[in-house]
Amino acid sequence: MRIDLYEDMYKTEDTHWWHKAKRRFVGFLISRYIKKEDITILDVGCGTGKNMEELSKKGKVWGVDISREALLFCKKRNLLNVKEGDAEHLPFQKGSFDVVCMLDVLEHVDDGISVAEVVRVLKSGGYIIVTVPAFSWLWSRWDEALHHKRRYTREKVEEILTKHGFVVLRNTYIHSFLVVPSFIIRKLKQLQSKSYTSDFQINNTFLNSCLFFISELEQMWINRYDMPFGMSVLCIAQKKQYEYRS
């Protein structure tokens, strides 16, 4: 991700509807599928740390990020359990965590190597929670600003996880209401300008509140049903009792 965007993220992560909605979706998955108490959680690609704050309500949390700039913002949040490192070489011992979160991370890295690393640091029967951007035809300059390498389908996410010995428990698209307007707006932006403004910024508080309300309605639906399309894929899977061998 462009270095200047970390400050944007830090300033807006508490209130921006997109980040708030993602935290709610992840919290829902943990509450629904993980019954163990006092869990240990690793947030891979922890960014500026807001997700770690929320995850700490569920258990003991550690974070890792390749960006020193991001980790400085974590320290501003008084988050001390953070390490500098990358998703392909996690600086933790085998079988350290009950849950590993990779929230908008796989699209930045070699997803096969990174998921294999998650298998290594997860305890037997542990869980991985993944969010990734969906559909290659939604690719835009915002993906380039964030240094994305690819976008995914729900089927591709399941293929990667099952190959590495996970059993997929839930796999759905989210933010379905945004697909058409986002496609139009992003394509128009590409035509109008060579530069791309930050999607982390939203100055209209009423619009921000409306979008978050719509995302809450969507979550009510997702409590029971999967979405057939969306801006992102949301998935939780459980590690089998044996380990993947490449």
User: Tell me, what CATH number does 176's domain have?
Assistant: 3.40.50.150
pLDDT at 244: 46
pLDDT at 176: 93
Q: Identify whether 100 is part of a domain.
A: yes
* % of the chain residues with pLDDT over 90: 78
Domain containing 24 equals 4-239
Q: Identify whether 178 is part of a domain.
A: yes
- Name residue 135's beta-bridge partners: none
- What number is the average pLDDT over the span 108-115? 98
Q: Which residue has the higher pLDDT, 218 or 142?
A: 218
- What number is the average pLDDT over the span 16-21? 94
Q: Identify whether 244 is part of a domain.
A: no
pLDDT digits (tens, 9 = 90+) for 176-231: 998 887 777 766 666 666 555 555 567 789 989 999 999 999 999 999 999 999 99
Q: Identify whether 246 is part of a domain.
A: no
Q: Identify whether 11 is part of a domain.
A: yes
**Measured between alpha carbons, how far is residue 168 from residues 53, 163, 171, 234 in Å?**
26, 11, 7, 11
Average pLDDT, the chain: 91
* Angle 71-186-177 from CA coordinates, rounded to 5°: 90
Q: Identify whether 133 is part of a domain.
A: yes
Q: Identify whether 13 is part of a domain.
A: yes
pLDDT of 246 strictly over 50? no
Cβ(121)–Cβ(96) under 8 Å? Answer: yes
pLDDT of 116 strictly over 60? yes
Q: Identify whether 129 is part of a domain.
A: yes
pLDDT at 186: 66
pLDDT at 191: 65
**Measured between alpha carbons, how far is residue 68 from residues 2, 44, 45, 64, 65 in Å?**
13, 14, 11, 10, 8
* Number of structural domains the chain divides into: 1
- What number is the average pLDDT over the span 63-89? 97
